[in-house]
Amino acid sequence: MASKDCGNHGKGRQKLIGRIIRCLLVFLVIVLITILIIWAVLRPTKPRFILQDTTVYGFNASTQNFLTSNFQVTVSSRNPNDRIGIYYDRLVTYATYRNQQITLRTALPPTYQGHNEVNVWSPFIYGNMVPIAPDFSVALKTEQAAGSVFMVIKIDGRVRWKVGSFISGRYHLHVRCPAYITFGSRSNGVSVGQNAVKYQIVTRCSVSV
C-alpha cells in the first residue's frame, strides 16, 4: 500500500506541475496577444529627421586619391507619435560621397525622445587623408572646381519603441540626408569664422527602420 501511495503521490505532483506550466503558457500567450493588439492599434510611426545646416571647416581634395575634411552638421529628429516614445541607441554619423565613406564615424549620445518631442544634435565629422577611389577622386575635384559637391550625411543606429511600460527590442535605424556644398563664386554659405563657412540647408532626410 505504501508503494502505491508513493506512486499516486508522484503522479499527482506531475499533474500539478503540468497544470502550472499550462497556466504560465496561457498567461504568456494572453500577454503577447495584448501587446500585439496595442501595437497594432497605436501603429508606431518612424521618426522624422531634418538636416538643418552644415558648417565646413576644411575640405581639401588636392592630394590625389585622398580627402581631408572637417564638418559640423546640425540634425534634428522629431517623434511624430502621440503615445509612443523612442529610445535612440548606438547612433553614429558620417559623410559619404557616391556611397563611399569619406569621414570617420562620430558617435551620438543615446537619448530618449518622448511623444512629439524634438531632439537636435550638432556633431563634428571629419577625416584626415581618407583614401578614396581614383575615379571618385577625379569626379570630386571636378565638382569642387565647378562650384558644387553633393554628399550624403548618414546616421545609423538602433531604436526601441516605448508603449506605456513596454519597451520593444532594438530595430535598425538608417537616416540619409542629402547635402549640397558650394564653393568659390557659387558659394551660398555664410562665413562664421576663420576658414569656416556655414550652409543653411534644411533638407528632409529619408528614414528607414
What pLDDT, in 10s, does the model give residues 135-178?
999 999 999 888 889 999 999 999 999 988 888 889 999 999 99
| Residue percentage of the chain with pLDDT more than 70 | 90
pLDDT at 163: 85
Q: Is residue 158 part of a domain?
A: yes
- Average pLDDT score over the chain: 88
177 domain residue, yes or no: yes
Please tell me the predicted confidence (pLDDT) of residue 8: 58
In a domain, 20, yes or no: no
Q: What tens digit of pLDDT does each residue of 69-119 get?
A: 999 999 999 999 988 999 999 999 999 999 999 999 999 999 999 999 999
Residue 19 domain flag:
no
Concatenating the DSSP letter of every residue in the chain gives -HHHHHHHHHHHHHHHHHHHHHHHHHHHHHHHHHHHHHHHHH-PPPPEEEEEEEEEEEEE--STTEEEEEEEEEEEEE---SS-EEEEEEEEEEEEETTEE-S--EEEPPEEE-TT-EEEE--EEEEEEEE--HHHHHHHHHHHHHTEEEEEEEEEEEEEEEETTEE---EEEEEEEEEEEE-GGG---EEEETTEEEEEEEEEPEEE-
Backbone angle region of 147, left / alpha / beta, with phi > 0 → left and psi within -120 to 50 → alpha:
left
Task: Indicate whether 35 belongs to any domain.
Answer: no
Confidence of residue 56 (pLDDT cuts 50, 70, 90): very high
Within-domain flag for 4: no
Q: Are 117 and 78 in contact (CB under 8 A)?
A: yes
pTM given for the model: 0.79
Domain that holds residue 145: 48-208
Three cell numbers at 147? 562650384
For residue 162, what is its C-alpha cell?
516605448
Q: What's the structural domain count of the chain? A: 1
Q: Would 77 be classed as within a structural domain?
A: yes
Residue 190, domain member (yes or no): yes
Give the CATH number, domain containing residue 149: 2.60.40
